[in-house]
Structure 1
Amino acid sequence: MKFSFKNDYSEGCHPNILQALLQYNIDQQAGYGEDEYSLKAKALIKEKINNQNSEIFLISGGTQANLIVISSILKPYQCVISASTGHILNNETGAIEATGHKVLSIETEDGKLRPSDITPILENHRNIPHQVMPKLVYISNSTELGTIYKKQELEELSTFCKQNNLYLFMDGARLGHGLTSEISDLTLENVASLTDVFYLGGTKNGALIGEAVIINNPVLQEDFAFNVKQKGALLAKGRLLGIQFLELMKDNLYFDLAKHANQQAMKIKNAMKKKGVEFLSDTYTNQIFPILHRDLIAVLSEHFEFYIWKKTDDQFSAIRLITSWNTGDEAVDRFIEIIERELY
């Protein structure tokens, strides 16, 4: 069987989570997120972000989280700004547009948004009331290209959004990987203080399912629970999410798993760099995009699964490799062995 580098959710979940689900399986608990595990998990998250005033909602998946957050925040005539690589643009089947909100796209080389990228959008949408009103800036950390926001970048973006009456929403499907990157100077507490809303992704970092939506702006907290329920995201057995996030948050398991995934990706990246391989983007998370000759891609495809991300010319293409919390040394060493053999 081929080892998959296609994504970071091929495996089920970390054994601690499976054990906890089994251990507490027959306990009788309140429903709809009022169980003791969900309440403890939320309290632990508030402690880690150092904000007791934030409100936390446990949601089953990333697309669902994006859909509920954005459709709840925006009025019918308001829209969201996203990098062209944003998940809400390319991988959510038009879910945001289906709620009646336009997504304004900005081309960026590294998947990140900066104030200078957003300014032209604001300048071109002043024909009130004939155009949609930009109101929400959507970013991802790490981005869909594996890049991350440094602290100064997020501070500048946060300040810009406040000055222009925009909300800032961070998709945190891979936030653990972004924060534990070897070049990151951003903390979870920083993220909480600089965004209106963000979420901690569990699905791509050791959980069976689940994202923890964290609303920091008090204005946006009001009635949010109604939107969660109306859109089918309020699980009767909310304990299933609460148990998972309680396990992930205690003893820093969440960050240890993300750090492991990053380290495994960097082993592959560094080995490739020594052989002169170039990359589509310079990443330090669990996503890497090496540019390889089609013959080498064919050889690697005999042993591993991965996506061919972008054709760069007639002979070369960038592939995407993603490591996970469970990516072991055997698969990584085997991949490196083939690279070193073929690129002699």
Structure 2
Amino acid sequence: MYSFKNDYSEGAHPRILAALMESNFEQVDGYGGDRFTQQAVELIKEKLDRTDVDVHLLAGGTQTNLTALSAFLKPHEAAIAASTGHILTHETGAIEATGHKILGVVTENGKLNPSHLKIVLEQHTDEHMVKPKLVYISNSTEIGSIYDKNELEQLRDFCKEHKLILFMDGARLGSALCSEENDVELSDLPNLVDAFYIGGTKNGALIGEALVICRDSLKEDFRFHMKQKGALLAKGRLLGIQFLELFRDNLFFDLAKHANKMANVLRTELAKANFKFLTHAPSNQIFPILPNSLIEELQKKYSFYVWEKVAPDYSAIRLVTSWATKEEEVVAFIEDMKKVLQK
């Protein structure tokens, strides 16, 4: 059975595994003091064209979100997120467990805009309620949509005006930046958001996210917060080596482009078969609406999530492609779909 359930089913790109093996017996300092981590941090700063940002390497997305948000927020402050936001739906209350409420906003496409934020601010006016302070967005979003530069600029300007922190979850940032519809460069992000992270786990690394803190007021004592939350790895080299390999050349972007290419093949063929989609998703996640009978047949050979019931006989499924998705498996999925439809 071939999986389209997520983009982390496979291990890691062979170049990363080779780099880990080559350095395996070298003795280095722990907790990110090793030469690999230092080189990776400098390389990421070079790619961002900014030397004034802080870069911290953490193991996973949920760990990065809870460590960052709990560090950035005072006890009475809250985060604003789309109702589909990862911190609100799929992190087991990790942010709430650190003592911070999440204020959910229903959106049509998984993206927040200033009008959403304005409503939340108008509803929270005094000390009898939590104080909205941080705006959490994902790019790409949990339902595959991406932010364009103008949308991010509008959010940045609103947040600056209202003294809010703008934080971007970049678990699938590679897919967003490599989308055919994207107009945002990696180097634009420090000028658009206060903090964000570059996801490695879902783009060819074994584990790892690179958190970039752009606003000076958020930088102080962050390693203390990492240690307290169990996010400061003794063998920090494992993260450093991987990000060094991902950004040594264009590997990070090449892997994301492959994932997007495979998703586009699926998207194109599903559209040709006259199937509609739950949402416009120009990234490596797509959400076609299929007859339940077709879904049941496809599930005999492929694994994927049934995302949402749309009608009595139709449901939206989620298909996710990865850096390692085999083109022959994508073709086989399409052919199997056509065979069922011809019956």
TM class by smaller structure: over 0.9
Q: What is the match of residue 162 of structure 1?
A: 160
Q: Which amino acid aligns with 2:165?
A: Y
Q: Which runs of 4+ in 1 moved over 4 A?
A: none
RMSD across aligned positions (CA) = 0.7
Q: What is the match of residue 304 of structure 2?
A: 306
Offset at 1:47? 0.5
Offset at 1:252? 1.2
Task: Normalising by structure 1, report the TM-score.
Answer: 0.98
Deviations 1:212-255 (A, max 9, x none): 00000011001111101111111111000000000011111011
Offset at 1:341? 2.6
Deviations 1:175-217 (A, max 9, x none): 0000000100011111121110000001000000000000000
Q: C-alpha separation between the residues in 2 aligned to 1:174 and 1:241?
A: 17
Match of 2:117, SS state, is helix
- Alignment match of 2:226 (pick from 225, 228, 251): 228
Q: Which amino acid aligns with 1:151?
A: K
Q: What is the match of residue 30 of structure 1?
A: 29
Offset at 1:342? 2.9
Q: What is the match of residue 210 of structure 2?
A: 212
Q: What is the match of residue 99 of structure 1?
A: 98
Q: What is the match of residue 266 of structure 2?
A: 268
Q: What is the match of residue 3 of structure 1?
A: 2
Match of 2:311, SS state, is coil
Q: What is the match of residue 251 of structure 2?
A: 253
2:144 is the alignment partner of 1:146: yes
Q: What is the match of residue 53 of structure 2?
A: 54
Match of 1:37, SS state, is helix
Q: C-alpha separation between the residues in 1 aligned to 2:249 and 2:56?
A: 21
Q: C-alpha separation between the residues in 2 aligned to 1:156 and 1:96?
A: 26
Match of 2:134, SS state, is strand
The answer to whether the Cα contact below 8 Å between 1:21 and 1:243 also exists between their aligned partners in 2 is yes
Task: Normalising by structure 2, report the TM-score.
Answer: 0.99
Aligned residues: 342
Q: C-alpha separation between the residues in 1 aligned to 2:339 and 2:271?
A: 14
Q: C-alpha separation between the residues in 2 aligned to 1:76 and 1:205?
A: 34
Q: What is the match of residue 336 of structure 1?
A: 334
Q: What is the match of residue 181 of structure 1?
A: 179
Q: C-alpha separation between the residues in 2 aligned to 1:190 and 1:155?
A: 10
Match of 1:67, SS state, is helix
Offset at 1:109? 1.2
Offset at 1:36? 0.5
Q: How does 1:73-112 map to 2 (within 5 A)?
A: 73-112=72-111
Q: Which amino acid aligns with 2:5?
A: K
Q: C-alpha separation between the residues in 2 aligned to 1:266 and 1:302?
A: 23
The answer to whether the Cα contact below 8 Å between 1:272 and 1:339 also exists between their aligned partners in 2 is no
Q: C-alpha separation between the residues in 2 aligned to 1:77 and 1:328?
A: 48
Q: Which amino acid aligns with 2:151?
A: E
Q: Which amino acid aligns with 2:214?
A: N
The answer to whether the Cα contact below 8 Å between 1:141 and 1:149 also exists between their aligned partners in 2 is yes
Q: Which amino acid aligns with 2:3?
A: S
Offset at 1:137? 0.0
Q: What is the match of residue 198 of structure 2?
A: 200
Q: Which amino acid aligns with 1:58?
A: L
Moved more, 185-194 or 197-206: 185-194
Q: C-alpha separation between the residues in 2 aligned to 1:189 and 1:158?
A: 15
Q: Which amino acid aligns with 1:321?
A: L
Q: Which amino acid aligns with 2:79?
A: V
- Runs of at least 5 residues in structure 2 that lack an aligned partner in the other structure: none
Q: C-alpha separation between the residues in 1 aligned to 2:8 and 2:121?
A: 37
